[in-house]
Structures are given as structure tokens and as C-alpha cells.
């Protein structure tokens, strides 16, 4: 895939260790040096390296699993990568379907990471953990810090509440919102009816008359959560889109669609972070199997 050199702005291969034009280090390769998988095969190898019992965890990598209670990713006969969740009743919710393998793999990778972290937080909560080994204290402190950060975010949301009854109502409302299925379109480029669009965290933009604009009528098909995925192209720019790079426009906000304040990616995307201390007590029943994701 072609990317733009951050120094001389020439188009280079994303796998080039250095820019062939100016000699600058390709920061994309440096970021790719982390352990985050970008293909289904890499994700399989990653899970195998950490001895994850995927079937017990209910993750099916590279498999179109038809049974209930399952997260999975596979490539269908049309070449599309499909990320899905089979609910408790066997109904399938498709998280992503498209040609961008790296994006699809990241979706299932982030869900796997979320499931692991949820169980870790439960294990090491003060008064609940069974470990008395001093070597475990740094990891426990780190997890406590993650939990404190989440608690602080919740407290900020409740800062304007004036009474206990209203506080309870707000908490219930927040819980309902969290449990609502997230069917919003993925950030990235879309092609529909000969035009190129870009979705940036829920906001739509269209390439028109040589520039990006937010002043247009969005087609009904792109507003339809059940159809919009059919027109998704990629999170990454390509000359084939017939448009300029959205990241070079005035509308672009420099933030990754994968960012989450609750994650410390530098520590999580390393080998040690996935050492759970054993997977024998994994309980897939604690997953919310009724939600879409």
C-alpha cells in the first residue's frame, strides 16, 4: 500500500524502512514493529504464541462459525473480510464486512483485548484477588490505575447531578446507552454512485469539485446502517478513490479510529501484557452475549 512520507511527502510503500527519496525513517514501519497483528494468519500466530484456548474463549479466527456465543473473523467467497458476533440465541451481528483486512483484524483484536482486560480487572480488584506474591503487585497496581481512570470518567459524567434520585436515573441511562448496539459506520473512505465519501467518527464528508466538503445531502443508502457497509473501501487512502487524501484536508482531526483512553497501547501491545497467568479459569459466560458487540 502507498503512503505519504511524513518528511518529503512523496508516495512510498508502507513497508519501506526508509524513504527512497529523502532517506527519512518510515515511521509506519516503526509503529508496525509492535505485536499488533494485521492479517488473519498473524492473529492466529499471535494467539497460538500466547497459548490462548480460543474455542473456550469463544473466538473463531479464520472460521465462519455458525453456533451461538461466538466472536469471529473470516474471508468469504467474494474476498470480503467479515467480523461477526453470534449472540446467545444464535443470531449473527456483523461488525464489519469489507476488503480492508488490517481494519477487520484490528476490530476482532480489540474485542479480544477487551475481553481479556475485563477479566483481569475482576481478578485483581482489591479484596477479590487471590494472589499474595509480591511479584504480582506491579501488575495489580497497573490494573487498579486503569480502573481508577474509568471511575474518574464516570464521576465527571455525574458532576452535574443535584440529587440521589437523579444520580440513579443518570446511571441507568448511561447503562442503557452503553448496552445499545453500535451500528454506526466505520471511519474511512466510502464509494457510492460515483462519489467518494469519508466518515470521521460519525461525521460525513464528500469529495466534490476538487475538494472535501461537509455541505451536501447524504444519500439514504449511507444513512442506512444495514447498507452502508456495502460501500466501505478502506481506512487508508488510495489513489484509486478519485479524491485527495482526506487527512490532508482542513476537516481531518488527527486521531485514530482505534484510540481509546482506557488503553495504554505501548504496554498492552507487547508479549508480557497477554500473559494472563493461565487461561484455565476463563468463563465465557461473563460475556454479554445479547448485545451486538
Q: What is the mean pLDDT of residues 107-114?
A: 91
* Res 17: pLDDT: 64
- pLDDT of residue 234 exceeding 60, the answer is yes
More confident residue, 18 or 37: 37
Euclidean distance between CA atoms 126 and 94, whole angstroms:
37
- pLDDT of residue 136 exceeding 70, the answer is no
Confidence of residue 278 (pLDDT cuts 50, 70, 90): low
Percent composition of the chain: helix, strand, coil (DSSP 3-state, to 5): 35, 20, 45
Domain chopping of the chain, boundaries? 35-123, 137-182, 183-258
Which three cell numbers mark 2?
A: 502507498
User: Which residues lie closer than 8 Å to 134 by C-beta, 6 or more apart?
Assistant: none
- pLDDT of residue 242 exceeding 80, the answer is yes
Euclidean distance between CA atoms 61 and 67, whole angstroms:
14
- pLDDT of residue 281 exceeding 70, the answer is yes
* Res 47: pLDDT: 86
Q: What is the mean pLDDT of residues 195-207?
A: 91
* Res 129: pLDDT: 39
Q: Which of 25-39, 83-97, 174-188, 212-226 has the highest mean pLDDT?
A: 83-97
Q: Mean pLDDT in the chain? A: 77
Euclidean distance between CA atoms 199 and 187, whole angstroms:
5
pLDDT tens-digit map of 48-75 = 888 889 999 999 999 999 999 999 999 9
Euclidean distance between CA atoms 101 and 242, whole angstroms:
21
- Flag the least confident range among 112-116, 169-173, 227-231: 169-173
Amino acid at each position: 500500500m502507498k503512503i505519504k512520507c511524513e518528511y518529503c511527502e512523496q508516495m512510498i510503500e508502507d513497508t519501506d524502512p526508509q524513504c527512497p527519496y529523502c532517506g527519512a525513517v518510515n515511521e509506519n514501519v516503526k509503529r508496525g514493529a509492535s505485536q499488533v497483528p494485521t492479517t488473519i494468519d498473524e492473529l492466529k500466530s499471535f494467539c497460538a504464541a500466547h497459548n490462548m484456548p480460543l474455542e473456550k474463549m469463544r473466538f473463531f479466527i479464520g472460521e465462519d462459525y455458525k453456533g451461538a456465543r461466538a466472536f469471529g473473523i473470516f474471508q468469504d467467497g467474494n474476498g470480503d473480510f467479515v467480523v461477526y458476533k453470534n449472540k446467545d440465541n444464535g443470531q449473527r451481528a456483523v461488525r464489519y464486512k469489507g476488503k480492508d483486512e488490517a481494519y477487520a483484524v484490528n476490530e476482532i483484536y480489540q474485542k479480544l483485548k477487551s475481553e481479556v482486560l475485563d477479566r483481569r480487572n475482576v481478578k485483581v480488584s482489591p479484596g477479590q484477588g487471590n494472589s499474595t506474591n509480591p511479584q504480582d503487585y506491579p501488575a495489580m497496581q497497573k490494573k487498579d490505575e486503569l480502573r481508577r481512570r474509568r471511575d474518574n470518567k464516570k464521576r465527571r459524567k455525574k458532576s452535574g447531578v443535584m440529587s440521589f434520585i437523579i444520580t440513579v436515573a443518570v446511571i441507568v441511562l448511561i447503562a442503557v446507552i452503553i448496552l445499545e448496539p453500535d451500528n454506526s459506520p466505520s471511519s474511512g473512505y466510502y464509494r457510492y454512485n460515483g462519489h467518494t465519501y469519508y466518515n470521521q467518527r460519525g461525521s460525513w464528508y464528500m469529495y466534490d469539485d476538487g475538494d472535501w466538503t461537509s455541505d451536501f445531502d447524504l444519500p439514504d443508502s449511507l444513512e442506512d446502517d444495514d447498507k452502508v457497509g456495502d460501500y466501505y473501501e478502506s481506512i487508508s487512502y488510495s489513489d484509486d478513490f478519485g479524491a485527495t487524501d482526506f487527512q490532508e484536508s482542513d476537516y481531518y482531526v488527527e486521531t485514530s479510529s482505534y484510540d481509546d483512553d482506557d488503553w495504554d497501547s505501548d504496554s498492552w501491545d507487547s508479549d508480557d501484557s497477554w500473559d494472563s497467568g493461565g487461561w484455565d479459569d476463563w468463563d465465557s459466560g461473563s460475556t454479554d452475549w445479547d448485545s451486538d458487540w
